[in-house]
Chains A and B, each alone.
Chain A
Amino acid sequence: MKRMNMNAVGRWICDMLAVCKREFALVFRDMGVVLFFLLLPTVYPILYALIYNPEYVREVPVVVVDDCRSDMSREYARRLDASQYVKIVGYAANMQEARKCMAEKECYAIVNFPEDFSRCIGRGEQAHVSIYSDMSLLLRYKGILMAATDVQAAMGADVRAEVMQQAAASGTAGIGMIPTIDSASVAMGNTAMGLASALLPGILVLILQQSLILGVCMLAAGSRERARLNGGIDPKEIRTGDVRQMLGKTLCYLVIYIIPLIYILKYVPMIFSYPQNGHSLDMIAFMVPFLLSSIFMGMTIQVFIREREAVFPLFVFTSVLFLFLSGLSWPRFAMSGLWYLIGSCFPSTWAMNGYIAMKSNGALLHQVSHPYAMLWLLTAVYFLLALAVRKFIDKKQEHAGMKN
């Protein structure tokens, strides 16, 4: 009796391995799938890195309208020009001329010194500078704002020092010692404070998920196309139990994905010097449920894909949505409950946030236990969904195919 059981288990495993072996053959004989599984994860990270590599904006062109024409306004403009974010491309006679420059896209901001600019400082009043900024890109606005704030603080400190000196010299009471507070800002996670280092780690994870899901869908669609030509039965499929089929295929994909996984999560950040914290073992442990849930999600979605080509629209359209739902661009805490919930249904959301926590912020596995647990939960849910889809929908279609 016991022996029988052993035999059954052994046969079960043998079946599964046979499916796995067959799947390997199917993958590597299908150029489209090889492209999705291997070339896409190789090329996309490099393309994205090259696009975002500049990290931040430099030398945003700015035009100055100087109605004051004093030493002070020129000094202010000179310091703006010296900032790495801004470049003064010219002086305009009046606002009208400057606005024309802006309409021609020769500049993206206008700095206007009013007539009484230096007089205000001399009188001991606040001097105002008007800065009109184009809002087409927030990154440009940010650059202009940073440059202006730096100059404002530095020039202000000069004025203050001068006034204090005068006050001390004239002996105004009690000004000798003024309590002050200093402040320092420390950027964590992404010490370069660049856009690439913030976006790319998440995008890398998304690329893994998308390529995996699409490869899986494409394989399934290929099998279905073969079945359609062959009276409802795919001749290349090994006929065995559903669970064995699913696990065998999953094993095959997992083995194939070892290489893209290491390349994307370890070497791409190294090549482009993105944040590289966290422990490799933690990372691998974290990625297992991510890959599993992505595979099972692919096996669930595949029911909607009738033709191999239909995966392309699916790929492009879902990539953008998953990116937004992940909270990488617009934070998750600012989303409404509905979108938070929908975002939680996809492995990419949890994997991206968990990976960023580990890779950028140096979190250990126990610190990302929430996303980790959610990934395992999604693995279970999608496994059951995929099984249900196989059992009920695919079988039905197969019968329909047989009748035809």
Chain B
Amino acid sequence: MKSLLSVIKESIWRGCMFVMSRPLYLVSIVVIPLLSGFIMLDLLKEGIGNHVPAAIVDLDGSDLSRRVTSNLDAMQTVDVKRSFNDFTEARDALQRGDIIGFFVIPENFAGEALAGRVPEITYYTNYAYFVPASLMYKGFKTISVLSNGALVSTTLVTAGLPESSVTALLMPYVNDMHPLGNPWMSYQIYMGHSFVPGILALMVMIITVYSITDEIKKKTSVEWLKSAGGSIVVALIGKLAPQTLLFTLAGWILQLATYALYDFPLNCNIVVMMTAMFLMVLACQAFAVTVCGIVPNLRLALSVCSLLSVLAFSIGGFTIPVEDMYRWIGIVSYILPIRYYFLIYIDQSLNGVDLYYSRYYFIALLVFVLVSFIPLFNLKRMCKKPVYVP
């Protein structure tokens, strides 16, 4: 009778051999998460959306309208690329995708303004492109408010009002916005911390499912179980522990890149985030084991995990808050491990609140591990009598 320790050792050795057996595994475990993480971070490198292509339609051509135009041109968010003679030309450019929006200064604009007839500047933004449109809207809005302000204040100051009270009159209330944790409002920081670990989580699930159910498909599961002394738990530990190590290492490298290379906000001890990464890898593996336990069939289990992991990017609440989704859809986000990692990141790294407030998220990640033990009996049954349904 071999001791438990030597069985585990042997089982882990077998797991290592499995990972090394085909280059595809190493590529999926290490290269794909790292590469796609790098792609995404580098793609969003600019972070703060500047120079959104815009156009201007100046139907007035007066001194005042040219001042508005040059103010718009001076803005960082907007890049006035073209100027058109009429609305139709500008709309054509927008439809072609050359510009995201344009600014129309009506005919006789200066004359009407000075005569007190309140002319209207109209700005058109293409909301089919949500992020640049929002940025451009902000730029356009600022310019129209400022233009109005400049005009009004000139008149009032000439009329004899002190300049200080003119400002207060133009804008009696001021909202001082404090975007906590991401004062630059960088899109990279916003997307990077959900999508980069998201791809890792996705690969963890798929590789875990694959490495378990492939044994059943190839009917090697009997021998796999035997080498683990007949214990499915030991068999799983042996198979998955080497992968846990590699995935966690990949996750830590990604964290290192986000914090050291791209200066993501880190308002907690790095050990907290590293622990969270390790637990997330573990929870994703556990989730995949649970799926395998319920549907011990390669293709079905893979389909379930693929479907969920692709939807995780939308349903995990990285863009739309879970509380704003339909309730019965929002519930799904709570069965995804990546959701808890995301919440820990928000609490700890972005906002730097006490660890106490994130306690449930850590517990939730551990619960995934516990839950995975429940359907093991079914997995074991299938491993003993492997049936491959193509």
**CB <8 Å contact, B125 and A159:** no
**CB <8 Å contact, B191 and A329:** yes
Which residues of the partner chain A approach B100 to less than 8 Å between Cβ atoms? Answer: 331
**CB <8 Å contact, B357 and A357:** no
B83 at the interface (CB under 8 A from A): no
**CB <8 Å contact, A181 and B148:** yes
Cα A316 to Cα B210 in complex, Å, equals 14
Nearest-neighbor residue (CB-CB) of A330 within chain B: B44
Which residues of the partner chain B approach A368 to less than 8 Å between Cβ atoms? Answer: 96-97
**CB <8 Å contact, A54 and B174:** no
Contact with B along A309-350 (1 / 0, CB 8 A): 110110111011100110111110111100100000000000
**CB <8 Å contact, A126 and B175:** no
Considering residues A135, A312, A317, A356, which has the most beta carbons from chain B within 10 angstroms of its beta carbon?
A135
Considering residues A193, A312, A316, which has the most beta carbons from chain B within 10 angstroms of its beta carbon?
A316
A76 at the interface (CB under 8 A from B): yes
Least Cβ distance of B325 to chain A in Å? 6
Interface segment among A16-24, A149-157, A251-259: the answer is: A149-157
**Residues A131 and B177 in contact in the complex (CB < 8 Å), given A139-B319, A178-B155, A181-B147:** yes
**CB <8 Å contact, A316 and B306:** yes
Considering residues B24, B115, B168, B309, which has the most beta carbons from chain A within 10 angstroms of its beta carbon?
B168
Least Cβ distance of B26 to chain A in Å? 13
B85 at the interface (CB under 8 A from A): no
**CB <8 Å contact, B171 and A183:** no
A353 at the interface (CB under 8 A from B): yes
Which residues of the partner chain A approach B206 to less than 8 Å between Cβ atoms? Answer: 312-313, 316
Which residues of the partner chain A approach B173 to less than 8 Å between Cβ atoms? Answer: 76, 121, 126-129, 151-152, 155-156, 159
**CB <8 Å contact, B116 and A312:** no
Total residue contacts A-B, CB cutoff 8 A: 331
Residues A282-306 near B (CB distance < 8 A): none
Contact with B along A181-220 (1 / 0, CB 8 A): 1111111111101010111010000000000000000000
**Residues A330 and B191 in contact in the complex (CB < 8 Å), given A174-B160, A316-B310, A339-B42:** yes
Cα A47 to Cα B134 in complex, Å, equals 26
Interface segment among A236-244, A265-273, A359-367, A376-384: the answer is: A359-367
Which residues of the partner chain B approach A201 to less than 8 Å between Cβ atoms? Answer: 128
Contact with B along A98-117 (1 / 0, CB 8 A): 00001111000000000000
**CB <8 Å contact, B324 and A188:** no
**CB <8 Å contact, A134 and B309:** no
**CB <8 Å contact, B310 and A370:** no
Residues B96-130 near A (CB distance < 8 A): 96-97, 100-101, 109, 113-116, 118-130
Which residues of the partner chain B approach A353 to less than 8 Å between Cβ atoms? Answer: 97
**Residues A363 and B42 in contact in the complex (CB < 8 Å), given A131-B177, A199-B130:** no
Residues B204-229 near A (CB distance < 8 A): 206-207, 210, 214
Residue from B118, B130, B314 within 8 A of A181 (CB atoms): B118
Which residues of the partner chain B approach A312 to less than 8 Å between Cβ atoms? Answer: 206, 302-303, 305-306
| A side interface size, CB within 8 A | 108
**CB <8 Å contact, A51 and B128:** no
Which residues of the partner chain A approach B42 to less than 8 Å between Cβ atoms? Answer: 336, 339
**Residues A362 and B347 in contact in the complex (CB < 8 Å), given A180-B151, A190-B127:** no
Least Cβ distance of B350 to chain A in Å? 6
A172 at the interface (CB under 8 A from B): yes
Residues A26-53 near B (CB distance < 8 A): 32, 35, 47-48, 50-53
Which residues of the partner chain A approach B315 to less than 8 Å between Cβ atoms? Answer: 51
**CB <8 Å contact, A189 and B128:** yes
Residues A126-176 near B (CB distance < 8 A): 126-142, 145, 148-149, 151-152, 155-156, 159-160, 163, 172-175
B residues bordering A, Cβ < 8 Å? 24, 28, 32, 36, 39-40, 42-46, 49-53, 91-92, 94-97, 100-101, 109, 113-116, 118-134, 137, 140-141, 144-145, 147-148, 151-152, 155-156, 158-161, 164-165, 167-182, 185, 187, 190-191, 195, 198-199, 202-203, 206-207, 210, 214, 298-299, 302-303, 305-306, 309-311, 313-315, 317-321, 324-326, 329, 346-347, 350-351, 353-354, 357
Q: 10 pairs across A/B with beta carbons < 8 Å?
A: A51-B329, A54-B326, A129-B175, A179-B155, A195-B319, A309-B214, A313-B210, A316-B206, A316-B309, A324-B43
> What 11 new A-B contacts, CB under 8 Å, besides A52-B314, A183-B140, A330-B44?
A104-B357, A129-B176, A130-B178, A139-B319, A173-B160, A193-B127, A316-B306, A320-B310, A321-B39, A330-B187, A357-B95
Please give me the 4 A-B residue pairs with the lowest Cβ-Cβ distance, nearest first. Answer: A189-B128, A183-B144, A174-B159, A190-B127
